[in-house]
């Protein structure tokens, strides 16, 4: 194993960690020595991934979390610090948005999308970044979307929230550096659960340089790069993992 990807002794927290890209990152981090907090709305799904992590000989803590609820973030972070004493890596991965024509977006839907994709991640990242800066430092990875960089129809609130997440990454990196490194993965189309609603053609082809959507496991090396000493001089960056979107 390349020592640059060695996460031995680290504690990693992954929101939206029970499926899709989050699950892939959780298992990859565990395989390289990290203990993992798996958080999502459904505790049963978190417990399933926690069992997989323990099979790698690492500790796992499954926690239910509404990643868009500002009021939950402080108690969530405190629970982890109380039980494990530290957070070395935080991955703000939870996020989603239904495809809705802009003129049909309700205020309730708008708020839900912005809360989940920006408000909640901001609150959690800022709380954890402060604690990291006061201790030995740490790493925060925000998972964004190519929709923040490439215009998408029927997803204006989502694209706007992810663009805000990108800006947040740069700002927080300046605010909490040098001890805390904060970066974004700008993810393109991936064959996660959301792709079940796509057409057959969309699951096979994509409007990017590689001409296809990504397999969930293809997020792993980008995440490992940002979570490990391999990226020691990288912070405030938007790292695209999207197959070459326009």
Contact 37, 82 (CB under 8 A): no
DSSP annotation of 208 reads B
Q: Which of 81, 158, 176, 225 is catalytic?
A: 158
- The rounded distance, in Å, linking the Cα atoms of 93 and 85 is 22
Contact 30, 56 (CB under 8 A): yes
Residue bearing tokens 């990108």 = 166
Can you give the pLDDT at residue 75?
A: 98
Contact 33, 58 (CB under 8 A): yes
Q: Percent of the chain, pLDDT > 70?
A: 98
The question of whether 176 is a catalytic residue gets the answer: no
Coil, strand, or helix at residue 1? coil
Helix locations, the chain, DSSP H: 20-31, 43-54, 70-84, 107-114, 120-134, 156-176, 200-204, 220-227
Can you give the pLDDT at residue 6?
A: 95
Q: What are phi and psi of 97, to 5 degrees?
A: -165, 130
Contact 234, 176 (CB under 8 A): no
Can you give the pLDDT at residue 2?
A: 56
- Name residues of the chain where pLDDT drops below 70: 1-2, 198
Can you give the pLDDT at residue 50?
A: 98
- The rounded distance, in Å, linking the Cα atoms of 41 and 202 is 28
Instruction: Classify residue 53 as exposed, middle or buried by CB count within 10 Å of its CB (0-12, 13-18, 19+).
Output: buried
Can you give the pLDDT at residue 145?
A: 96
Nearest to 232 by CA among 29, 27, 6: 6
Residue bearing tokens 């959301």 = 194
Domains of the chain by start residue, with CATH: 3-190+217-241 (3.40.50.720)
- The rounded distance, in Å, linking the Cα atoms of 148 and 90 is 21
> What would the pLDDT profile of 158-203 be if each residue is shown by its tens digit?
999 999 999 999 999 999 999 999 999 999 999 987 777 768 888 8
- The rounded distance, in Å, linking the Cα atoms of 29 and 160 is 30
- How many Å is the maximal CA-CA distance in the chain? 52
Starting at the earlier edge strand, list the strands of the sheet with 35-40.
60-64, 35-40, 11-15, 89-92, 138-145, 180-187, 238-241
What does the block give as tokens for 193? 């659960």
DSSP annotation of 19 reads S
């Amino acid at each position: 194993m390349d020592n640059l990807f060695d996460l031995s002794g680290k504690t990693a927290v992954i929101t939206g960690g029970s499926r899709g890209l989050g699950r892939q990152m959780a298992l990859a981090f565990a395989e390289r020595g990290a203990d993992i907090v798996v958080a999502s709305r459904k505790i049963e799904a978190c417990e399933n991934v926690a069992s997989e992590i323990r099979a790698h000989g690492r500790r796992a803590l499954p926690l239910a979390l509404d990643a868009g609820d500002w009021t939950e973030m402080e108690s969530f972070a405190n629970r982890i610090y109380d039980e494990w004493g530290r957070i070395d890596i935080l991955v703000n991965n939870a996020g989603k948005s239904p495809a809705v024509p802009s003129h049909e977006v309700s205020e309730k839907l708008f708020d839900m999308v912005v809360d989940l994709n920006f408000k909640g991640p901001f609150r959690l990242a800022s709380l954890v970044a402060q604690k990291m800066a006061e201790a030995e430092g740490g790493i925060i990875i925000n998972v964004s979307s190519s929709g923040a960089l490439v215009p998408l129809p029927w997803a204006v609130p989502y694209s706007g929230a992810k663009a805000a997440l990108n800006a947040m990454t740069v700002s927080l990196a300046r605010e909490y550096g040098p001890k805390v490194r904060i970066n974004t993965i700008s993810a393109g189309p991936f064959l996660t659960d959301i792709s079940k609603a796509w057409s057959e053609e969309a699951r096979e082809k994509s409007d990017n340089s590689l001409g296809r959507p990504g397999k969930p496991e293809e997020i792993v090396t980008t995440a490992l790069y940002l979570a490990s000493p391999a990226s020691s001089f990288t912070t405030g960056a938007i790292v695209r993992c999207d197959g070459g979107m326009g």
